[in-house]
Chains A and B, each alone.
Chain A
Amino acid sequence: NAGVTQTPKFRVLKTGQSMTLLCAQDMNHEYMYWYRQDPGMGLRLIHYSVGEGTTAKGEVPDGYNVSRLKKQNFLLGLESAAPSQTSVYFCATRQGRAFFGQGTRLTVV
């Protein structure tokens, strides 16, 4: 029982490159979230999903896209990475309380 697994754990991108972050859960939770964490800013919600096939915008959605084609997976895409997207990204699932993955540290140079 892995809980919430994020891949990759680290990545360095060049400005303009694209990538996809994967969040996988084995708890059968309906709700899934993507947050970014920046120093002094806490966690800010990027996008979230309340079930398979659904997505919704959070506080800071610009520059990101998401997909929830399967209930257990929530993908976060960066189409054209910018240095401002350098951050630690956390995925979470929720059933009552939220369960977090270990994070993906992304650097855009």
Chain B
Amino acid sequence: GEDVEQSLFLSVREGDSSVINCTYTDSSSTYLYWYKQEPGAGLQLLTYIFSNMDMKQDQRLTVLLNKKDKHLSLRIADTQTGDSAIYFCAESKGDKIIFGKGTRLHILP
């Protein structure tokens, strides 16, 4: 199966919280990442979490890591129109970094 899986689409109303979920396969992954890609642009690192942590908060962003279930989530509080983008989950797998297919976040007015 896929190394990193995430749902392809998410629609959220402006002002609500967005939660993007991801599952990964490598229990030895040292780092897990969330990247943001706006149309026509490269990938911007949003946040990352070490595998020995279970939560990381950075302003509107909260990352939760459940190592037992190999589940990673990104919560964006007070979602704004500027948050509209594709969000990629990624895991470090040995020397490689493996990406999911990305979740397109659509903001409803």
A residues whose Cβ falls under 8 Å from a Cβ of B: 31, 33, 35, 40-45, 48, 50, 56, 58, 90, 92, 94, 96-103
Contact = CB atoms under 8 A, between A and B. Distances in A.
B95 A31 contact: yes
Contacts of B44: 100
Interface of B: 8, 31, 33, 35, 41-45, 48, 88, 90, 95-102
B96 A58 contact: yes
Report the 7 A-B pairs with minimum CB-CB distance, sorted nearest first. A42-B101, A43-B99, A100-B43, A102-B42, A100-B42, A42-B99, A42-B102
A97 B33 contact: yes
Contacts, number: 49
A36 to B, nearest CB: 11
A98 B93 CA distance: 13
- Residue with the highest number of chain A CB atoms closer than 10 Å, among B33, B48, B97, B102: B97
Contact of B42 (A33, A41, A56, A103): A103
Nearest to A50: B95
Nearest to B2: A42
Given A90-B43, A97-B48, A98-B45, A40 B101 contact: yes
B88 A42 contact: yes
Contacts of B42: 90, 100-103
B31 A97 contact: yes
Contacts of B100: 42
A35 B7 CA distance: 21
A22 to B, nearest CB: 16
Contacts of B45: 97-99
14 contacts: A33-B97, A35-B99, A40-B101, A42-B99, A42-B100, A42-B101, A42-B102, A45-B97, A92-B43, A94-B97, A97-B45, A97-B48, A98-B33, A99-B45
